[in-house]
Amino acid sequence: MGPVCPKDSRCTLRYTAQVGGVLLLTLAALASCGGVSEGVSGSMGGASGAGGGVDGFGGEPIASPSLPWALTEFPGLPDIATEVPASRVALGNLLFFDPVLSIDGETACGTCHSEFWGMSDGIPVGVGHGAGPAAGPGRNGPNVSRRNSLALFNLAFRETLLWDGRSGSLEDQAILPLLSEVELNLDPDTAIERLTAIPEYVDLFAAAFPEDPRVTVDNLAAAIAAFERTFVSDRSIYDAYVRGHLGAFDDELVEGMFLFAQMGCSDCHAPPLFESEVFADRNVPDVDGVEDEGLAEATGLPEDIGKFRTPSLRNAIVTEPYFHNGAVESLSDAVEHELERSGMPFTDDEVRLIERFISKGLRDESRASSRPLSVPSGLQVPLDGQQFPFL
């Protein structure tokens, strides 16, 4: 799969920067990007949205947004995400935070995928079992992943998972952290034995899977996957803006969005999800002693060495540090790195505007997971954010 705008029919636009404080945005040849919806190409209203007499954020949409790309509706959830019993999602929620799935009884999925860090963990690379129950910045231990923990938003729409795309479904992926020696390191059969010994889990599995009411590896994976599909992020102010609430975006956000398109960012970080199945080598700084061939490890092809899947920029502001190895600390530095990679000249102010579009415009963690206070195993739910015992 290629980017939303294929190279041969790339969305082209001409952008005129601020002149005497008045923002002029000129679009040209928008129509080349697979057909532009009615009302998108004609409107220049976005630039004056904040003060031009349109509604405020939350009012009735009354105007068409000014966009540098074809308006693409946010995808609808697939049936597998909507036709699932609530009891299965609730079971997945408990399993996701229950350290019963780790060899040390202290580490859970939620250790590295926490609602406090945009469903990531706020540290350069994942730190697995043997590091205690406290998660987030400062977590340190003997079992360290090579890679930055991915944020888990909008997984329901994904075709490939992981930085190298080696997993194709959430059900398959859910067992990989158990098999990983540096993450949970627990034989799945042992996990099933442990769960079967807890009467509450036996009852919860039976209720969640009426057609096969047993504690099995397949049902464990299906419950976790059902829970993960609920982390939808489609309520950012970008989403409000494209739905016609023009007041959601001020002039600088519109400007940052146009720059984001002009600099080619949206070819790979394609709206509305701001990610894609494009695997690319972004020349990210190496981390000493860490070997990672990226996509080539999944395909075996030499030309795929160093390529990684384009991650989503939704909620990127809370998932620092950045890139597959967590080598870049701040979002601003990550944007600057990507601009350098684009090969086009840019100014510090353009870095700021693009960073602002991503950080303010694409943030919505409203449907991150919720962390249970206790889990059926009775083990300590991983501690994060304000739950540290010393606070």
Binding site for ligand HEC (CB under 6 A): 101, 107, 109, 111-113, 126-128, 145, 147, 149-150, 152, 155, 161-163, 170, 173-174, 177, 183-184, 224, 228, 263-265, 267-269, 278, 280, 282, 284, 308, 310-311, 313, 316, 319, 322-324, 331, 334-335, 338-339, 342, 354
Q: Is 96 strand, coil or helix? A: helix
- Whether the CB-CB separation of 226 and 92 falls below 8 Å is answered with yes
Reported as half-sphere exposure (CB side, CA atoms, 13 A), residue 286 has a value of: 7
Min dist CB 347 to ligand HEC, Å, is: 13
- Of 37 and 347, CB closest to ligand HEC: 347
- Of 94 and 152, CB closest to ligand HEC: 152
Task: For the chain, give the number of residues.
Answer: 391
Q: How far is CA 159 from CA 5, 24, 154, 352, 364, in A?
A: 18, 38, 11, 32, 22
Q: What is the 3-state secondary structure (H, E, C) of 254-267?
A: HHHHHHHHHCCHHH
- Of 50 and 270, CB closest to ligand HEC: 270
**Pick from 246, 248, 252: which is nearest to 350 by CA?**
252
Min dist CB 268 to ligand HEC, Å, is: 3
Min dist CB 55 to ligand HEC, Å, is: 29
- Of 63 and 184, CB closest to ligand HEC: 184
Between CA 256 and CA 262 the distance in angstroms is: 10
Min dist CB 158 to ligand HEC, Å, is: 7
User: Within 10 Å of residue 155's Cβ, how many Cβ atoms?
Assistant: 20
Min dist CB 172 to ligand HEC, Å, is: 10
In degrees and rounded to multiples of 5, residue 137 shows phi and psi of -50, 135
Query: What secondary structure does DSSP assign to 278-298, as a single string?
Result: EEE---PPP-TT----BHHHH
- Of 244 and 382, CB closest to ligand HEC: 382
Q: For residue 200, give both structure tokens.
A: 């509450």
In degrees and rounded to multiples of 5, residue 127 shows phi and psi of -115, 115
Min dist CB 37 to ligand HEC, Å, is: 24
- Of 46 and 326, CB closest to ligand HEC: 326
Min dist CB 221 to ligand HEC, Å, is: 9
- Of 280 and 290, CB closest to ligand HEC: 280
Min dist CB 354 to ligand HEC, Å, is: 5
- Of 64 and 233, CB closest to ligand HEC: 233
Between CA 230 and CA 253 the distance in angstroms is: 28
Residues 6+ apart with CB under 8 A from 362: 236, 238, 274, 313, 314, 315, 316, 317
